[in-house]
């Protein structure tokens, strides 16, 4: 132990790789509010506002936040709450939820001086709606989405060792996109004991990816393979660009306080109208991910205007439902299912018109037994096994390990499944 701490001490003499934020304070009232973040060095800050809902975004270089747990859950003055975290490799972000429209009067960083550390300071002033829009247009804030407007990440390939070299024959094995929900600045749901959904689902997706890769029949693409925020639209884009044959979004739900207890896994597909009130609540919660991450929602691309999409969507729906049923059947034996395990609602992340997509809520982090499962290695490996079974059943015998294409497999089953 002594040797270890010596090493740690020696390492800490050198400056840490990333700036460290150690403390935060908010002062003022609902007319003028000042936000102060203590840092161990100067950073560049880019601050801008977003509407619907009213937010202030601070983009800074990748920063290690060492703030007290729970800080930001409540704010003061114009800042209702705030959160912080990674939005991309090399970039961190602080997002304020505002109580109403406000203008950024100043956003600057002070050098360490007089025993005070470096400080990032943001001064806000309340304005009316019209002035908010004007200020937003003037500073071009709405148009700036550093990192998130850049070319989309193409998704991380989990492993490629089994596949043929890229220069040789093209890899025609079907692509399965695994989508661990949330990430980075967006923690998702939180267990009372502190486990974050974003970590639980990433671990699950990693082990599912490894299991699928092992069969040698599919290519696995992860929408994220680390603790990075990925906007919902990017996740859909990855599925479409990689021409995925299946998209599986992985989450863990939480029941709001005072709404009793619920348990078990639920499988969701896309629909215009939610199958019940709980499905609607959940879709609303999951669709908030972009607002949480500070994505400009007013800038979201409009739906592709293509009449073919409607047609593809109907076909895709049939396949999504088929996979959902297969998955429920397989999970029934090993994981506890919710009392109504098949539901549907308007999840943004399920909107690829040409990729069969489901969203799995593995369980409730607010339920003691479910949480115990979610953190258990043996539960995970059993559950991953049954998702693997459902995938095998979905693609059936049509996909063989020599790489029969997904397109062929898809079309054949489309004829068979046609209503
Ligand atoms: Zn979620």
Calculate how far, in angstroms, residue 312's C-alpha sits from the geometric centre of ligand 1: 27
Q: Classify domain 16-143 at the CATH topology level.
A: Immunoglobulin-like (2.60.40)
CA of 282 to the centre of ligand 1 (A): 8
Q: Which CATH class is domain 157-416?
A: alpha beta
CA of residue 53 to ligand 1 center, whole Å: 20
Domain boundaries for CATH 3.40.630.40 within the chain: 157-416
Q: At what angle do helices 377-395 and 307-334 cross, to 10 degrees?
A: 130
pLDDT of residue 303: 54
CA–centroid distance, residue 322 to ligand 1 (Å): 22
How is the beta sheet containing 55-61 ordered, strand by strand?
A: 46-50, 55-61, 91-98, 79-88
The neighbour count for residue 397, using CB atoms within 10 Å, is 8
Taking the centre of ligand 1 as the mean of its atom positions, its distance from the CA of residue 288, in whole angstroms, is 10
Q: Give the DSSP H or E segment for 25.
A: strand 20-28
Location of each CATH 2.60.40.3500 domain in the chain:
16-143
Q: How far is the CA of 266 from the centre of ligand 1 (A)?
A: 12
- Can you give the length of the chain in residues? 419
- For residue 213, the CA-to-ligand 1 centroid distance in Å is 24
Q: What is the pTM of this model?
A: 0.79
Is the Cβ–Cβ distance between 284 and 359 less than 8 Å?
A: no
The pLDDT value recorded for residue 161 is 41
How many CB atoms within 10 Å of residue 90?
10
Q: What is the CA(257)–ligand 1 centre distance, in A?
A: 17
- Report CA(320)–ligand 1 centroid distance (Å): 19
The CA 181 to ligand 1 mean position distance, Å, reads 5
- Between the CA of 364 and the centroid of ligand 1 the distance, in Å, is 10
Ligand 1 center to residue 201 CA distance, Å?
A: 9
Phi, psi of 73 (to 5 degrees): -65, -35
List the chain pLDDT tens, one digit each, 419 residues.
Answer: 444 444 444 444 567 899 999 999 999 999 999 999 999 999 999 999 999 899 999 999 999 999 998 899 999 999 999 999 999 889 999 999 999 999 999 999 999 998 999 999 999 999 999 999 888 777 655 433 444 444 334 455 554 444 444 456 788 899 999 999 999 999 999 998 989 999 999 999 999 999 999 999 999 999 999 999 999 999 999 999 999 999 999 999 998 777 777 889 999 999 988 999 989 999 999 999 999 999 887 765 555 545 556 667 888 999 999 999 999 999 998 888 998 999 999 999 999 999 999 999 999 999 999 999 999 999 999 999 999 999 999 998 555 444 444 443 443 343 333 33
The pLDDT of residue 108 is: 95
Contact predicate 305/197, CB 8 Å: no
Handedness of CA 198, 348, 285, 249 (dihedral sign): negative
Cβ neighbours for 207, distance < 8 A, ≥ 6 positions apart: 380, 381, 384
Distance between Cα 123 and ligand 1 center (Å): 33
Alpha helix segments (H runs only) across 160-306: 197-215, 232-241, 277-287, 289-293
């Amino acid at each position: 132990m002594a040797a270890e701490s010596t090493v740690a001490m020696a390492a800490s003499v050198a400056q840490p790789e990333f700036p460290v934020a150690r403390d935060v304070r908010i002062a003022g009232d609902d007319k003028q509010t000042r936000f102060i973040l203590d840092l161990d060095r100067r950073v560049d800050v880019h601050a801008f506002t977003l509407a619907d809902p009213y937010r202030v975004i601070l983009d800074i270089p990748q920063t290690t936040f060492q703030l007290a747990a729970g800080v930001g859950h409540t704010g003061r003055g114009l800042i209702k709450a705030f959160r912080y975290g990674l939005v991309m490799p090399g970039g961190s972000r602080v997002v304020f939820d505002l109580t109403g429209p406000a203008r950024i009067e100043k956003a600057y960083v002070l050098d360490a001086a007089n025993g005070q550390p470096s400080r990032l300071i943001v001064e806000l002033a309340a304005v009316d709606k019209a002035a908010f829009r004007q200020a937003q247009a003037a500073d071009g804030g709405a148009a700036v989405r550093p990192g998130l407007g850049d070319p989309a990440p193409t998704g991380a390939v989990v492993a490629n060792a089994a596949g043929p070299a890229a220069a040789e024959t093209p890899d025609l094995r079907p692509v399965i996109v695994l989508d661990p929900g949330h990430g980075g600045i967006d923690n998702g749901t939180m267990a009372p004991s502190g486990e974050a959904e974003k970590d639980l689902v990433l671990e699950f997706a990693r082990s599912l990816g490894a299991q699928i890769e092992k069969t040698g029949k599919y290519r696995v693409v992860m929408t994220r393979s680390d603790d990075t925020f990925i906007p919902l639209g990017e996740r859909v884009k990855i599925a479409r660009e990689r021409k995925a044959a299946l998209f599986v979004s992985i989450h863990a739900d939480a029941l709001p306080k005072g709404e009793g207890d619920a348990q078990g896994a639920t499988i969701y597909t896309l629909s215009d109208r939610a199958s019940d009130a709980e499905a609607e609540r959940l879709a609303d919660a999951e669709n908030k991910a972009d607002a949480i991450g500070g994505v400009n929602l007013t800038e979201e691309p409009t739906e592709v205007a293509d009449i073919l999409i409607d047609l593809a969507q109907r076909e895709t729906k049939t396949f999504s439902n088929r996979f959902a049923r297969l998955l429920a059947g397989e999970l029934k034996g090993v994981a506890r299912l919710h009392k109504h395990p098949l539901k549907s609602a308007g999840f943004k992340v399920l909107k690829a018109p040409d990729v069969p997509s489901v969203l799995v809520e593995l369980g409730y982090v607010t339920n003691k037994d479910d949480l115990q499962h979610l953190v258990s290695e043996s539960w995970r490996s059993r559950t991953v096994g049954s998702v693997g079974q459902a995938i095998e059943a979905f693609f059936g015998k049509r996909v063989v390990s020599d790489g029969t294409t997904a397109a062929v497999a898809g079309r054949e089953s489309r004829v068979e499944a046609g209503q």
